[in-house]
C-alpha cells in the first residue's frame, strides 16, 4: 500500500489555523468588557499568546520551510521574508500597546487605549492575512512542483520536531477546527491509517474537543462510511 501523501501542502493547514487564531483573537479583543479586570486580563493574555504563536510560526518558516524551497527556487521567499520583518515590528507595537493597557488605571485613558489596541490589531490582522496569501501564491505550488513528496514531508517533520508535544497539540487545537470537512475527512483518514497510534488518538481527542459538535459528528460518520 502506498502510505505516502502525494500532494504535500506545507502552508494551507497551518495558515487556516492562523486565520482562525487571528479571527478569534480579534473577536475577543472587540467584545471584551474592559471594565472587568479578569476579562481585560484574559483578552490581553490571549493577545500575548497569539503573538507568541505567530512569532514561532515565522521562525519555522524562516529557519526550515523557506530554506528548503530556496534550495530549488532561489529568491522565491524574498518578499515573504521582508514581510516577516514588517510583521515583527507591528507585533512589537501591539505588545507595547497591550503593556500600557495592562498598567493603565484611568478609565478615560483605558478606553482610548482599548480603541488604539483594537485598531492596531485589525490593521495587523489585515497585513498578516495578506502576507499568508503572498506566501501561498509565491511558494505553495512551486514547492509542490520542485520538491518531492518525501522532501516536503521531511520539511514538515522538521517543523514538528522543533516544538514540544504540548505545543504541537496547541497548534492542532487551532488547525483542526479551521479546516473544512472536505479537508478534515482525508486528513483524519491519513492519520488513522498511517500515523502512530498515539498521534491518531491525539487527533481524535483534540478533534472532538475543538470542532463544533455537528461537524465532529459529521466527520465521524464520514470516516465510518
Site residues for Fe ion per CB under 5 A: 61
Write out the DSSP string of 40-79: HHHHHHHHHHHHHHHHHHHHHIIIIIHHHHHTTSTTTTHH
Cβ at position 121, least distance to Fe ion in Å: 18
Cβ at position 138, least distance to Fe ion in Å: 11
Go through 180-214 and write b for each residue having 16 or more CB atoms within 10 A of its CB, e for each that does not: eeebbbebbeebeeeeeeebbebbbebbeebbeee
Nearest to 177 by CA among 9, 23, 65: 23
39 Cβ neighbours under 8 A, 6+ residues apart: 32, 33
Cβ at position 225, least distance to Fe ion in Å: 37
Cβ at position 3, least distance to Fe ion in Å: 30
Phi, psi angles (nearest 5°) of residue 33: -85, 95
Alpha carbon distance 99, 80 (integer Å): 28
Q: Indicate the residue among 39 and 56 with the shorter CB distance to Fe ion.
A: 56
Q: Indicate the residue among 32 and 143 with the shorter CB distance to Fe ion.
A: 143
C-alpha cell at 138: 509565491
Q: Indicate the residue among 61 and 64 with the shorter CB distance to Fe ion.
A: 61
Q: Indicate the residue among 54 and 114 with the shorter CB distance to Fe ion.
A: 54
Cβ at position 51, least distance to Fe ion in Å: 14
Q: Indicate the residue among 121 and 216 with the shorter CB distance to Fe ion.
A: 121
Alpha carbon distance 32, 113 (integer Å): 13
Residue nearest Fe ion by beta-carbon distance: 61
Alpha carbon distance 190, 128 (integer Å): 30
Q: Indicate the residue among 86 and 148 with the shorter CB distance to Fe ion.
A: 86
Cβ at position 212, least distance to Fe ion in Å: 28
Amino acid at each position: 500500500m502506498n502510505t505516502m501523501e502525494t500532494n504535500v501542502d506545507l502552508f494551507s493547514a497551518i495558515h487556516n489555523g492562523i486565520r482562525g487564531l487571528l479571527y478569534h483573537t480579534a473577536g475577543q479583543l472587540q467584545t471584551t468588557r474592559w471594565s472587568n479586570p479578569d476579562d481585560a486580563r484574559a483578552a490581553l493574555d490571549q493577545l500575548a499568546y497569539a503573538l507568541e504563536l505567530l512569532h514561532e510560526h515565522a521562525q519555522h518558516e524562516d529557519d526550515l520551510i523557506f530554506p528548503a524551497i530556496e534550495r530549488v527556487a532561489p529568491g522565491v521567499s524574498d518578499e515573504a521574508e521582508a514581510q516577516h520583518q514588517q510583521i515583527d515590528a507591528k507585533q512589537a507595537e501591539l505588545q507595547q500597546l497591550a503593556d500600557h493597557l495592562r498598567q493603565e488605571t484611568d478609565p478615560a485613558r483605558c478606553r482610548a487605549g482599548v480603541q488604539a489596541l483594537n485598531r492596531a490589531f485589525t490593521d495587523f490582522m489585515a497585513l498578516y492575512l495578506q502576507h499568508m496569501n503572498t506566501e501561498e501564491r509565491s511558494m505553495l505550488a512551486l514547492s509542490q512542483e520542485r520538491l518531492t513528496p518525501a522532501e516536503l514531508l521531511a520539511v514538515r517533520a522538521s517543523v514538528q520536531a522543533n516544538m514540544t508535544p504540548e505545543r504541537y497539540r496547541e497548534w492542532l487545537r487551532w488547525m483542526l477546527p479551521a479546516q473544512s470537512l472536505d479537508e478534515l475527512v482525508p486528513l483524519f483518514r491519513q492519520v488513522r491509517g498511517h500515523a502512530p497510534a498515539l498521534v491518531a488518538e491525539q487527533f481524535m481527542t483534540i478533534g472532538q474537543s475543538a470542532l463544533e459538535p455537528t461537524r465532529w459528528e459529521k466527520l465521524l460518520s464520514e470516516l465510518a462510511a
